[in-house]
Amino acid sequence: MEDYMIRVLTENKQIRALAVRSTNLVEKAHQTHKTTPVATAALGRALSAVSMMIALEKSGEKIGLRIIGDGPIDRIIAEANMDGEVKGFVGKPQIDLMLNENNNKKKLDVKKAIGNGELYVRKMMGLKEPYESKIRLISGEIGEDLTYYYTKSEQVPSSVGLGVLVDKDSYVKAAGGFIIQLLPETPEETISKLESNLNSLGSVSRLIEAGKTPEELLEIVLKGFSYDITQVNEVEYKCNCSRERTLEIVNTLNADEIKQSLEEDGYVEVTCHYCNESYRYNEEYLKEHLEREW
C-alpha cells in the first residue's frame, strides 16, 4: 500500500479532519538513520504529524516540528513541504529499548525517551522570517502534546492521534495518524458525538496494520457525520539536499575551521542530518563557489 494523506470537511462545516498512512515513510526513516525501536516510534510519530500539519496551512513552503527534551533521545526534528516530502532525524538514534506497562501490554515508551522539555512549531511561509511558536511538553507522547499545541497556541480545539508499530526485527509494520479540529461555533451535540467516536477508536497503528486506509480511519472517527474529501496527497520520506544547498553550511564556518579542514584532510566535509549524504569540497571548488574569503 502507498503512503498518502487525506483531508476532509464535514458537510455541516463543523469539523475538519486529516488522516495519513505513513508506514513506508517511517520505515525509510528507520533505514536511513538505523534507529532502534523507541527512536523509530518517536521519529515516526513526528514524521506522521508534520505530513498532516502542512496540509492545515493555506500557504507557505514548509513546516517544521522540533521536540527538545531531557530524555535519552535528546531531540526530534521533522519537516514537511507542500509537495508531501517529509524528512527528519533524532539526536540519539541508537537509544536502548524502553518499555512501559499499559493494560498488561508492554509498549515502546516514547514518553520516557523524550522526557520533559519543549515543542516548537516553525512555519516557513515564504516571508523574510519564519514564524515559530512553542509550548512546554505536557506528556511526551507527541500526539497529546500537539493536541495541546493546537488548542492553546492556535486556539483551535483539536485531537491528534499518532501511532507507530515496530515488529520484532525492528522494521515498521504500521504507522500513521489523524488530526481532528473543531471549527468555530461547533455545538455541544457535535462535540459529544465526536468524543464518543474517539473514545472507541482503539490503537491507530493496529488499525493501520489491519489494513485500514486513511479513508476508513476517518469513517470510524467521523461516524455519524457526512463529509467530503477535499485533498489527497501522496507522502514520502525525501530529502532535498544537494551539493549546492549544503555549501551554504560551509559558508557558516569560520575561516580557521575551513583552513584547518583543508590542511588536515584536503577537503571540507558536510553530512546532511536528514539523509546522511556526505559532500566534500576541495580548495579549488570552494574558491570558485564560496562567496567569501577564508
Q: How far apart are CA 52 and CA 55, in angstroms?
A: 5
Once rounded to an integer, what is the mean pLDDT over residues 206-224? 97
- The average confidence (pLDDT) of the chain is 94
**pLDDT, tens digit, for every residue of 69-80?**
999 999 999 999
The CATH number of the domain holding residue 82 is: 3.55.30.10
Please write the tens of the pLDDT for every residue from 248-288. 999 999 999 999 999 999 999 999 999 999 999 999 999 99
My answer on whether 162 and 279 are in the same domain is no
**DSSP label at 212?**
-
Provide the pLDDT for residue 59: 77
Q: How many domains, in total, are found in the chain?
A: 2
Of 28, 69, 74, 20, the residue nearest 49 (C-alpha): 20
Residue closest to 20 by CA, chosen among 228, 149, 166, 175: 175
> Cβ contacts of residue 224 below 8 Å, gap of 6+?
193, 197
> Are residue 199 and residue 220 in the same domain, yes or no?
yes
Question: Per residue in 51-70, pLDDT tens?
Answer: 999 999 987 789 999 999 99
78 shares its domain with 45 = yes
DSSP 135-167: EE-SSSSSHHHHHHHHHHTS---EEEEEEEEE-
Same domain, 228 and 281: no
For residue 104, the model assigns a pLDDT of 46
- Higher-scoring residue by pLDDT: 211, 97: 211
Residue 139 lies in a domain: yes
Percent of the chain with pLDDT over 70: 98
Q: What is the CATH number of the domain that holds 275?
A: 3.90.1280.10
